[in-house]
Amino acid sequence: MVLVTEFKTEDLPVAERFGSWHDMTASVLIPNAIRSDHEADFRASARVLGLGAVEVSALAYPSLETRRTTKLIRCSDPESYQLLLNLRGSHRILQAGRDTTSGPGEVMLYDTSRPWQGWASADQDTVGTVGGVMVQFPRALLPLPANKVDQLTAVRLPGREGMGAVLSGYLTQLVAGAATYTAADGARLATCTLDLLTAFLAHHLDAGASVPPQTHHRALLMKIHAFIQQHLGDPDLSPGAVAAAHHISLRSLHRLFQDQDTTVAGCIRARRLERCRRDLADPLLSNQPIHALAARWGFADPAHFSRAFRAVYGLGPQDYRQQYQADRAPCGTHRQAPGTPRQ
C-alpha cells in the first residue's frame, strides 16, 4: 500500500516547528540528534511515501547538523541503508572513517547501524534550504554482499550520468507523482525502487555477478524505457538503435519486451503518438503546423503519421485538433479530450 504523508512545519506554531521536525524524522526515518542555527523558526517540509518496507522521502530544510550515536543505535536500529539524492545545497558526512561532501546531482549511501555525524548546508542561491530525496530500505532486501556494499558507504556517487541519471530521474518522478498512486501500486513501486538501487550500486561495485538475473532484467528494462523517452524526437530511433545503445543484441531486446504487452517498435510509436496528441490539444501550440508537431516527435512522413494517429485515436490529427478546440468549455476549463486510444 502507498501511504503518503505530507508534513510542513509552517503549518505549526513557530515555537513547535523544530521539535516537531525532530520528532517526525525520528519516527518516520531514524532517531538522530539534530541541531540548527534556525531552531527559533525552523521551516522545513517532507513528503514521505510508504512502500511497505521501503520509504521514499522528499525533504527540504534549512542548514543543520545531525549526529547518530552508538547510544541511539542501541536504542533503535532498523538495520537499514539510507540513500540520499542531493538536489539542493551540500551534505557532508563522517562515517566508516570517511569524510565526504556531496553537492547537487550527487548520491551518497549511509548505514543506519554505524555512527555518523553530518552537516547539511544551504547555498545562497537555494533560498536558504537544503533538499533531496531519501530512500530508506532494509539491508536484508539488497541482494549484494554486505562487505562490498560497505565500500560505498559515505562515498560520493554521480547522479547525472549513466545509471545515476536513471536513478535520479526515477526518484524525482516517484515523489512528484505521489498523489496519483493506488494501493495496488505500493508493492510494484517497492520492487522497482529496490531493483534500480541494486543495479545502481552494483554498477559502482562492478558486482554484476552478484545481482539476481530478474533484477538485472528489470533494471535494464527501466533504463531502456528512459532512453526511449529521451530520444523520441530522433527519427532514427528504432529497435536496432535501442539495442546498440545498450550493447545488447536485437534478439535480447525483443526478449526483454516479451512481458510488456507491446513490442519495442510499438512502445516507441505509442509514446510518440501520445506526445503528438498532447501537442495537438495544447492551445499554446494551435498555430503550429501539424507536420511540424509530428516531426518534433520523430514522424518524418506526415502521411504515415496521419494514418498511425487515426488508427489509435479514431480521428485524423486535424479533426482531433478541431474537435478538441470545439469541446473547450466557454469559461476556459476543458472537457475530457476526444480520441480514446483503441485497444
With residue 2 as reference, give the H or E element that holds it.
strand 2-8
Residues facing 108 on adjacent strands: 84
The pLDDT assigned to 342 comes to 52
Start-end ranges of CATH 2.60.120.10 in the chain? Answer: 2-230
Q: Looking at residue 305, what is its pLDDT?
A: 95
Q: What value does the mean pLDDT take over residues 318-341?
A: 62
Q: What is the pLDDT of residue 184?
A: 79
Architecture label for domain 2-230: Sandwich (2.60)
Tens digits of residue pLDDT in 219-263: 788 788 888 888 889 999 999 999 999 989 999 999 989 877 889
Given a cut of 70, whether residue 52 has pLDDT beyond it is yes
pLDDT of residue 218: 78
Distance, CA of 153 to CA of 94 (rounded, Å): 10
Q: Where in the chain is the domain with CATH 1.10.10.60?
A: 239-326
Q: What is the pLDDT of residues 273-291, one digit of tens each?
A: 988 988 898 888 889 999 9
pLDDT for 329 equals: 45
Task: Give me the pLDDT at residue 124, please.
Answer: 66
Residue 332 pLDDT exceeds 70: no
Report the DSSP pairing between strands 33-35 and 64-68.
Answer: antiparallel
Stretch 30-52: mean pLDDT: 94
What is residue 327's predicted lDDT score, i.e. its pLDDT?
63
User: What's the pLDDT score for residue 58?
Assistant: 97
The residue ranking higher by pLDDT, 127 or 138, is 138
Q: Which residues pair with 59 in a beta bridge?
A: 46, 132
* Residue 113: predicted pLDDT: 95
Q: Please compute Rg for the chain using Cα positions.
A: 23
Q: Which CATH superfamily is domain 239-326 in?
A: Homeodomain-like (1.10.10.60)
Confirm if 44 and 218 have CB atoms less than 8 A apart.
no
Q: pLDDT > 90: what percent of the chain? A: 62
**Mean pLDDT of all residues belonging to the chain:** 88
- Least Cα distance to 127 among 158, 170, 87 occurs for 87
Instruction: Please state the rounded mean pLDDT for residues 32-57.
Output: 94
pLDDT band at 339 (very low <50, low <70, confident <90, very high): low
Show the cell assigned to 333.
476549463
Q: Is the pTM of this model over 0.85?
A: no
The pLDDT-based confidence of 42 (bands split at 50, 70, 90) is very high
Q: How confident is the model at residue 334 (pLDDT cuts 50, 70, 90)?
A: very low
